[in-house]
Structure 1
Amino acid sequence: MTVDPRIAIPSGLSPAAFHRRQAGAPVLSCAGETMGTSWSARIVAAPDGIAARIQAELDRVVGEMSHWAPKSDLSRFNRSEPGRWQPLPVGFANVLAAALEVAEKSAGAFDPAMGALVDLWGFGPPGPRAGIPDAAEIAAARAVSGRAHIEQDGRRARRTAPATLDFSGIAKGHGVDRVAEMLRSMELPDFLVEVGGELRGEGIKPDGQPWWVDLEPVPGSRLAPIRAALHGLSVATSGDYRRSFAHAGRGYAHTLDPRTGRPLENQVASVSVLHPCCMLADAWATALSVLGPEAMALAEREGLAAHMVVRAGSGFAEHLSPALRTMLG
């Protein structure tokens, strides 16, 4: 049986927006690969060569903050001498500042300095491991992990211990924002940009419609879909079905709880966050996933439009923040 979608409309989608459409203009679709995943874009009245410019911008993001690329600025930072201040590119500095802010507001549910634990569980550049780490290994990795070991002063930062940064929970969203800002600087106001499932929509399509996007459904869930108008709005989703591994008949999700150093066990299947900034939507989706259903109180305090799906026996339960309920009318 087909279930009609619930419609989420941002407050910024006013009648005036529809009068600014570029009626009859072509919509270019282009795509490529970045950050170990894919990207795509739909752009109204795009000039020739735009795909190459998008790829170049995303390549710059990788060059700044990929922990998989040994020559990236992030990898160099992770090899720097503890205690020594390191200069940062503007994008790197902005992402680190945002990550530390979300870490503080979420009481450590999101943490950008988890590289040692990510590697330990087989989700980092060293690759998958045989078996799972024991308590002593986890304790050792936790001792050199966490935001408490990172200090930032504007365009510079330093490690106070051998902690390593991992921007996996925020870099894709930042990449979306970088492309979006590049397009806006080129006076291309109408587009939908996606990197690895994280999206940002601006403006209006030539037919007068906003960029309609369904929030990513949890496989096997029969919950009514939510269809959002991405008009000056981004959406990011963190799901336990995206990446995991099995050991001794048990699945382990890729999202780690910084407070325990272990994969999540709170039955959260997915969290989607709608926010004007895709970078922040990305980070908050991870933080709320770690916190579980009680995170809805934090989402309300922060004014976040959030949708959480939790496994409940053989089915699923959902939680909607007040900001999202307002968008749904």
Structure 2
Amino acid sequence: MGTSWSAMLVDPPANCQAAIEDGLARIIDQMSNWEADSAISRFNRTPVGDWMTLPPDMLTVLRAGLGMARLSNGAFDPAIGALVDQWGFGPAARPRPAPLIDSAPWQAIELDGDEARRIAHVALDFSGIAKGFAVDAMAAGLRALGVANFLIEIGGELRGDGVKPDMQPWWVDVEPPPGLAIPVLRIALCGLSVATSGDYRRFRMEGDARLSHSIDPARGAPIPQGVASVTVLHEHAMLADAWATTITVMGPAQGMALATRHALPARLVLRTDDGAQEYMTPALTRMLE
């Protein structure tokens, strides 16, 4: 996934690190667009119309991604790989044009049991959801090894279970985007995950414009400058990750309204000419009281 991971564990067994690394390697083998032989890369090369049997983890993430696409009316799109490549954020050596299709990319993916196929020239890209899934998978693996108290992190997405050795919860600080003067968001993670999407994490400059890696499927282009970060808390890191991506694309009005309707604890930070503007959902406000 091209990122780092860390884990703070209470009384871990001796084989814990090897088990974690094996689990992450399995996810990379299935869902990394940067690995030519991964399952997702092989799927993206299958002839249009041909079915492919998907490995279980990839199938889980694809189903979740398509569900989020339906819920968000396409603001989240797990089949946006061609647009990611077009704007220079994919594994292609240089940007390349995305093929023209008649519908949203996610609508060109069909599922039948454990098989999937493309009905148009689209490409899967799980960059807005896979890290969260990996956090969930790592947490499940630790629990299977008998580890009940831990704080884990993959590429900035975190989950805490149980308590620290001093019986205190796992407190984490969500730092503000660089250069913006807003308070640190301090959260206790106990059976809870937090994911943040930010325009400062991965971008490239084109003239004076900062091009975010977050692509708006409706525009076929990076999101307009403005949304600096979105943080979402959820029981499942995969869904926290997907929701953070979704709200980032939808923006403060529509995105935070959707989060509020679904009772999500979420914060959005907007860059303005006057500095930072912070939005919080009622669920997050209650959590912080």
- Could you say which TM-score interval applies, normalised by the shorter chain? over 0.9
Provide the residue aligned with 2:240 in structure 1: 281
Deviation at 1:87, TM superposition (A): 1.0
Runs of 4+ in 1 over 2 A off after TM superposition: 140-145
Q: Between Structure 1 and Structure 2, how many residues are aligned?
A: 288
Over residues 31-77 of structure 1, what are the superposed CA-to-partner deviations in whole Å (9 max), with x where a residue is unaligned? Answer: xxxx1111000111001131121111000000011111111111111
1:216-235 equivalence runs, <5 A: 216-235=175-194
* Cα distance between partner residues in 1 of 2:193 and 2:3: 18
- Indicate the SS of the match to 2:4: strand
* Cα distance between partner residues in 2 of 1:272 and 1:128: 31
1:74-223 equivalence runs, <5 A: 74-129=40-95, 137=97, 140-141=99-100, 146-223=105-182
**Contact 1:144-1:163 at 8 Å conserved across structures:** no
The one-letter code sitting in structure 1 at the alignment partner of 2:215 is: L
The one-letter code sitting in structure 2 at the alignment partner of 1:325 is: T
- Indicate the SS of the match to 2:266: strand
* Cα distance between partner residues in 1 of 2:104 and 2:88: 16
* Cα distance between partner residues in 2 of 1:212 and 1:308: 20
1:33-48 equivalence runs, <5 A: 35-48=1-14
**Contact 1:117-1:145 at 8 Å conserved across structures:** no
The one-letter code sitting in structure 2 at the alignment partner of 1:193 is: I
**Contact 1:171-1:279 at 8 Å conserved across structures:** yes
Residue of 261, 284, 287 corresponding to 1:324 = 284
* Cα distance between partner residues in 1 of 2:244 and 2:94: 24
Provide the residue aligned with 2:33 in structure 1: 67
**Contact 1:145-1:163 at 8 Å conserved across structures:** no
Task: Tell which structure's C-alpha radius of gyration is larger.
Answer: 1
- Indicate the SS of the match to 2:13: coil
Gaps of 5+ in 1: 1-34
* Cα distance between partner residues in 1 of 2:93 and 2:150: 36
- Indicate the SS of the match to 1:37: coil
Provide the residue aligned with 1:27 in structure 2: none
The one-letter code sitting in structure 2 at the alignment partner of 1:61 is: I
TM-score (normalizing by structure 1)? 0.84
**Larger RCO, structure (CA 8 Å, separation 6 or more):** 1
Deviation at 1:213, TM superposition (A): 0.6
Provide the residue aligned with 2:261 in structure 1: 301
TM-score (normalizing by structure 2)? 0.96
Provide the residue aligned with 2:19 in structure 1: 53
Gaps of 5+ in 2: none
Q: Does 1:267 align with 2:226?
A: yes
* Cα distance between partner residues in 1 of 2:104 and 2:90: 14
Q: Relative to structure 1, is the Cα distance of residues 289 and 46 closer, same or farther in structure 2, using a 3 angstrom cutoff?
A: same
Q: Relative to structure 1, is the Cα distance of residues 301 and 153 closer, same or farther in structure 2, using a 3 angstrom cutoff?
A: farther
The one-letter code sitting in structure 2 at the alignment partner of 1:231 is: C
Deviation at 1:97, TM superposition (A): 0.6
- Indicate the SS of the match to 1:300: helix
